[in-house]
Amino acid sequence: MARRERGVTLLEIMVVISIMAILLAIGTGQYRRMQANNTFNNEVERLGTELRNAGILAQATGLLQPVVSPGTARPEDLSKNRSGVFLWQTWRDGKVVAQGKLGSQGTVRLDFNTNFTYTNTKFNPGVYLTLTPLDPETHVPLGAPVLQVVYTPSGTPLSSGRIVCSYLGRPMTIKLSSLGDIEGPNE
């Protein structure tokens, strides 16, 4: 009678380890994409919330940004897809009251009927929100803001438009109406 060995062979162990390595590699990539997507969603949600908060702040203080004038934005600033990291900041009386980063892996497109000339925010009264491109590695601002949303004393934006942020081909839109409605972000 032949004696049979018990246990697993080296080949069986190698096959199991190979399968586990493949599953781990697939799962890690999916997890990173899911994590980046969640981060992007949170950034856009926070920007939408801050746009509403800036309107409430403008209404509470009754201040209008008096030093900006409409109609002097370059069209290329308003229509280009811009990818990279953006810094949004809410200003009150020349001081930043809230800020955050947006779009580290997505694109941001600005569609506004009128934009406002960027002026030095350091000494300007009123409430407004700016969107400034940042260097992706150093996170240093690259020039002046590409968008400045100015609020009236009643808390409504002076200009209507859309901020469209997209990641992996899925756009999220924040719509601002000069009637005071701020919708979104919506897919």
More confident of the two residues 21 and 150: 21
Over residues 66-70, mean pLDDT: 37
Q: Are 81 and 29 in contact (CB under 8 A)?
A: no
In a domain, 6, yes or no: no
Q: What is the torsion angle, in degrees rounded to the nearest 10, for the CA atoms of residue 182, residue 168, residue 129 and residue 98?
A: 100
Half-sphere exposure of 29 (CA within 13 A, CB side): 5
In a domain, 66, yes or no: yes
In a domain, 176, yes or no: yes
How far is it, in rounded angstroms, from Cα 3 to Cα 26?
42
Q: By three-state DSSP, how is residue 13 classified?
A: helix
pTM exceeding the 0.85 threshold for the entire prediction: no
How far is it, in rounded angstroms, from Cα 87 to Cα 131?
6
Least confident of 58-62, 79-83, 144-148: 79-83
In a domain, 108, yes or no: yes
In a domain, 92, yes or no: yes
The predicted-structure confidence for 118-151, as pLDDT tens digits, reads as follows 455 444 556 667 777 777 677 777 776 666 777 7
In a domain, 24, yes or no: no
Neighbours of 42 (CB within 10 A): 11
Number of domain units in the chain: 1
Half-sphere exposure of 104 (CA within 13 A, CB side): 16
In a domain, 26, yes or no: no
Dihedral pair phi/psi, residue 18, rounded to 5°? -65, -45
The radius of gyration computed from the CA coordinates of the chain, to the nearest angstrom, equals 24
- Residue 80: which pLDDT band, with cuts at 50, 70 and 90? very low
In a domain, 7, yes or no: no
Handedness of CA 90, 95, 96, 97 (dihedral sign): negative
Domain that holds residue 180: 31-186
Least confident of 15-19, 69-73, 130-134, 161-165: 69-73
